[in-house]
Amino acid sequence: MLARLFLGLFFACSVQAAEVHESILANGLKVLIKEQHRSPVVVAQIWYKVGSSYEPSGMTGISHMLEHMMFKGTEQYPAGEFSKIIAENGGRENAFTGHDYTAYFQTLEKSRLAISFELEADRMQHLHLLAEELQKERQVVMEERRMRTEDNPRAKLHEYLMAMAYTSSPYKNPVIGWPIDIENYQVADLQQWYQRWYAPNNATLVVVGDVQVAEVMQLVKKYFAPIPRHNIQALKPQIEMPQVGVRRMSVRLPAKVPYLLMGYKVPSLKTAVDEWEAYALDVLAAVLDGSDSARLPARLQRGQQLATSVGAGYDLGARLKTLFLFEATPVKGKTLLDMELALKTEIRILQRELISQSELTRVKAQVLANSVYEQDSLFYQAMKLGMAETVGLGWQKSEQYRNKINQVTAEQVRQVAEKYLMESQLSIAYLEPQTMLANTATGVLHAH
């Protein structure tokens, strides 16, 4: 009851998020602007609807490779100039690629927004793709892959799990790409990929910060309106084949500590037939692992003391059908099988018994509090809008999130647990550590 009282208060107190201003240029560029006047700073992000889930086989990772090449210059601003100009203007910039998007961003003192626009508009149309630059950057990406995946047993387990869990969905491929594909991109491949996807009508520009909508729109028109629209060829449907039984693997790698990953096929908000199911899955993830008082840390780490680490996660915002993931590291003396059984016991309880009202209310309270906290970050606010828009949900969905979560019932949480966390939809991977080389210093040279 106490918790319920709090929830009412949350609604009373939480500040209304600033309004999002949407416009679409004649060339199809969608522009989202949110005024936030707490500090004299602005974030600009440009999101392209392309990512690793758009890639055909043999070309995995090409979206990410192209993201790297986007810093390699145009006729007007040769390699390195883009970053130099942003730096000299006190800006911070970078880019990221995911399964469903490629995005570029700059954070600047507010009066310098035009600089970001000019440079992004330029590289949307005039990228110079040179064989020599590609050769070097390919090595950089290979090093990135070694760092992120090859030398990280847990990341490798995740990669193997995805490859096994999906049959026909492009989510089976890593965002960074398979090594053999990275080694074989040609300039022509990148050129085609660039021409196919980098166009105003395949992009969303998000601006959040201490700006005025009208002024931003003037700048947008100046820099982006002249860019011609392309004919964007629709992506072929990429539907995952139904899974008809559990999939299981054991991965033997040099490592020190065993580790478990389990993933159940579930709909995302975009693919759910009934929207509420996605929100209920999101609440389910929070009941399991949303905070320190959630079930998995309370029961498996503390109560039964089976796990050193344990977690659950669900990506509501995926463009395609996704996985509801569990991970666990056993304590000394426990096995991966113990982890699997303990997690399945928790799942069974969720399928049979309603979560308590206080649990549900606690999850909602945190979602509401987060909706205030996240306004402390311009970058995160822009990111939420850009992502929702780019995966095809529409940015409005990200604004509705809080209210939708608030409508989820305990029975709905039970229903999605029962419907989706089924053995036949499970993929499970064990990391079984193989001996690593001992870490002994083999040589110390004294320099003089």
| Residue 74 binds other proteins (CB under 8 A) | no
Give the range of 217-225, 229-237, 362-370, 422-430 binding other proteins by CB under 8 A: 362-370
Single-letter residue type at 17: A
Q: Name residues contacting other proteins, limited to 81-110 (CB under 8 A).
A: 83-84, 87-94, 107-109
Q: Name residues contacting other proteins, limited to 43-72 (CB under 8 A).
A: 71
- Distance in angstroms (rounded) separating the CA atoms of residues 371 and 368: 5
| Residue 115 binds other proteins (CB under 8 A) | no
399 is catalytic: no
235 close to 307: Cβ distance less than 8 angstroms: no
Residue 318 or 368 with smaller CB distance to other proteins: 368
Residue 217 or 365 with smaller CB distance to other proteins: 365
Backbone angles phi, psi at 102, to 5 degrees: -130, 130
Q: Name residues contacting other proteins, limited to 228-267 (CB under 8 A).
A: 254-257
The catalytic position among 55, 67, 120, 389 is 67
Read out DSSP for 397-436? HHHHHHHHHHT--HHHHHHHHHHHS-GGGEEEEEEEEEPP
Which strand (E) or helix (H) includes residue 31? strand 30-35
305 close to 331: Cβ distance less than 8 angstroms: yes
| Residue 346 binds other proteins (CB under 8 A) | no
- Distance in angstroms (rounded) separating the CA atoms of residues 341 and 308: 15
Residue 244 or 441 with smaller CB distance to other proteins: 441
Q: Name residues contacting other proteins, limited to 160-219 (CB under 8 A).
A: 210
User: For other proteins, how many residues bind (rule: CB under 8 A)?
Assistant: 91
| Residue 357 binds other proteins (CB under 8 A) | no
| Residue 443 binds other proteins (CB under 8 A) | yes
Which residue of 352, 372, 396, 424 would you call a contact of other proteins, by CB under 8 A?
Answer: 372
- Distance in angstroms (rounded) separating the CA atoms of residues 313 and 307: 17
Please report how close the Cβ of residue 209 comes to other proteins at its closest, in angstroms: 9
315 close to 330: Cβ distance less than 8 angstroms: no
Label residues 342-377 b or e (16+ Cβ within 10 Å = b): bbbebbeebbeeebeeebbbbbbbbbbeebeeebee
Binding mask 291-320 for other proteins (x = CB under 8 A): xxx---xx--xx--x--xx-----------
Active-site amino acid positions: 67
